[in-house]
Amino acid sequence: MILMATLALAVIGGLAAAVGAVLIVGVIAAVAVGIGIMLFPKLHILFGMIFALVITGVLEFFFYFGQANWLSSVIVASMMLPALLRLLGMSQERDGVSAFAAILVAYIVGLLASSVINRIPVPQVIVGVRNYLPYIGVAMLIVYGGFEIGFVRKVLRALLFIALIQIPVAIYQHIVVGPARVAMRGAVGREDEAIVGTFGGSIVTGGYTGEMASFLVMAVMFVIALWRERKLKGWLAAVFSIALLIPVLLAETKIALLLLPVLSLIAFGSDIKKSPATAVVGLIGVALLMTAVGGVYALKYWQSSDQAASQLLYSFDPDFMVTPDHRGRVGTIVHWYQTNLQEGNYVGALIGHGMASSLEGSSTIGLGSAVRQFGLGLDAHGMSRLLWDGGMLVFSLFAMLCVRTIYVASKLRKKDSIASEDRAGLTFALVAATSMFLMLPYQMSVLGGSAMQFVFWCVVGYVEYMRRACSAAHKSEERSFGFAVGCRLASQRRMLNSK
């Protein structure tokens, strides 16, 4: 079948080239490349990762090609096909529906049902599907792709490599792009708004600096976890940790100061009883990193303690306004509560107003349906977008997915049977899922940017993959034990019969 399809594409492409239909040739070439990638799931995962975390942001930031996000969505959405095909062929191996699958299906159904009930326009449905669903393919392919554990470990290591790529890109943006941005007409904020690594955004209005910083903090936690599990030498872990925070030092990203202590305690707090010496060394290292980041920010951006407190706490002010039409992070939630629950719109509060209804900057649909009805500034962060688009139902399902991932990762890494590298990987998954869950009322990244969406669903898929692997190993041990007991009983019966 594959050979016939390849021959058909070759014939059609040859005829199109003969008559000068360049567009058709390009489409056929893209289809051929896509089929080739899908035939090799490992290549598919790695190509999707590089495109989502590196290529998309570079195209968007340096070349003003925001449509690269759509290309990234197509690549990762296509991961669903091989995952579903393999899942259909696993009918004999399945042992019921897992909580992961149940929550995931309910989340998707909730989003689609909200859109149907609210009768949103078809273009808005398309944009909403593009925003919410494609990156689920990453988790599905990791869970159901049939990968061996060695490859899954390499996927996490590849994320660490991409984190290191941010360093030279951020330094270039600090030296070249930032100063040039100051002279641009309409530029918003300081020159450090241009330090985004490969996470994309706009040179003029600012990029995803906070997303880059939070990803790098996660990477630092991964490095420390690898050192704790003796998979990385101490001096190398120290060099990597310091180097990974260089982009954070170049740009004022206050979220890093909040995440470093919180994620450190979550990742290594349990080690205080088990291995006090290792825990103390690790926590001292994190404290030094925090001191370095805070010291640099104080020298570069904060002239007084009052200004530092203001910069750190304004996000929690319900009366803060970014612009006359856009509320702060807390104010956005207050506005949702007043507009829906306080005004008696309980259906809207429960199921939302349909996918992409809170968007206001889409080049495809312009303003979403909820924005046209309730005004600007609805999607300040991931929590507000979920509440407006899918209501409390979809928000609760997404939160359940995050909490389950955190719980399972925390539980699995405590098992003695887990390999040391997998324990480090589960620690990374734990801090990544925790970070993105905590940042729902702070950032849009887990639902907006291609890079963090990929990381989130990769982590969700990795934890479910590890859970299934541990469950399969446990059942195999039970079968082996049962077989051994059965053989022993049969032997004893034979001995009794012979007597």
Say what percent of the chain tops pLDDT 70: 82
Domain boundaries, position 239: 45-291+343-488
As a whole number of Å, the end-to-end CA separation of the chain is 63
- Rounded to whole angstroms, how far apart are CA atoms 64 and 66? 6
My answer on whether 28 and 86 are in the same domain is no
Please write the tens of the pLDDT for every residue from 161-180: 999 999 999 999 999 988 88
What is the bridge-based pairing of β-strands 326-327 and 321-323? antiparallel
- DSSP category for residue 487: H
My answer on whether 265 and 408 are in the same domain is yes
Please write the tens of the pLDDT for every residue from 220-242: 999 999 998 999 998 999 999 99
My answer on whether 58 and 27 are in the same domain is no
Is there a domain that residue 309 lies in? no
Higher pLDDT, 286 or 381: 381
* Residue 92 burial by Cβ neighbours in a 10 Å radius (0-12, 13-18, 19+): exposed
Say what percent of the chain tops pLDDT 90: 52
Please write the tens of the pLDDT for every residue from 397-406: 999 999 999 9
Is there a domain that residue 30 lies in? yes
Per DSSP, helices labelled H in 19-135 are 22-38, 41-50, 56-63, 68-77, 80-88, 99-118, 122-132
My answer on whether 240 and 285 are in the same domain is yes
Higher pLDDT, 379 or 150: 150
Specify the amino acid at residue 287: A
Is there a domain that residue 202 lies in? yes
Is there a domain that residue 322 lies in? no
Instruction: List Cβ neighbours of 305 (8 Å cut-off, separation of 6 or more).
Output: none
Tokens for 56, please give them: 């998309």
* Residue 227 burial by Cβ neighbours in a 10 Å radius (0-12, 13-18, 19+): buried
Total-model pTM: 0.87
My answer on whether 370 and 483 are in the same domain is yes
- Rounded to whole angstroms, how far apart are CA atoms 193 and 207? 6
For the ranges 82-91, 259-268, 382-391, the one whose mean pLDDT is highest: 382-391
My answer on whether 16 and 82 are in the same domain is no
Higher pLDDT, 319 or 137: 137
What integer pLDDT is reported at residue 8 of this predicted model? 54
Specify the amino acid at residue 386: L
HEC assignment per residue over 425-443? HHHHHHHHHHHHHHCCCCC
Is there a domain that residue 301 lies in? no
Q: Is the pLDDT of residue 199 over 60?
A: yes
My answer on whether 56 and 33 are in the same domain is no
Q: Is the pLDDT of residue 12 over 90?
A: no
Q: Residue for token digits 């507009």? A: 339
Domains contained in the chain, number: 2
> Count of residues for the chain?
499
What are the two backbone dihedrals, phi and then psi, of residue 256, each rounded to the nearest 5 degrees? Answer: -65, -40
My answer on whether 127 and 172 are in the same domain is yes
Q: Is the pLDDT of residue 305 over 80?
A: no
My answer on whether 63 and 116 are in the same domain is yes
- Chain mean pLDDT for the chain: 84
Is there a domain that residue 221 lies in? yes
Is there a domain that residue 495 lies in? no
- Rounded to whole angstroms, how far apart are CA atoms 435 and 260? 10
My answer on whether 91 and 5 are in the same domain is no
Are the C-beta atoms of residues 426 and 470 closer than 8 Å to each other? no
Is there a domain that residue 325 lies in? no
Are the C-beta atoms of residues 226 and 237 closer than 8 Å to each other? yes
Q: CA dist 44 to 74, 87, 141, Å?
A: 12, 17, 9
- Rounded to whole angstroms, how far apart are CA atoms 469 and 152? 12
- DSSP category for residue 326: E
* Residue 298 burial by Cβ neighbours in a 10 Å radius (0-12, 13-18, 19+): middle
Give the SS3 label for residue 201: strand
Measured from the Cβ of residue 401, the count of other Cβ atoms closer than 10 Å reads 22
My answer on whether 26 and 52 are in the same domain is no
What integer pLDDT is reported at residue 319 of this predicted model? 79
My answer on whether 128 and 185 are in the same domain is yes
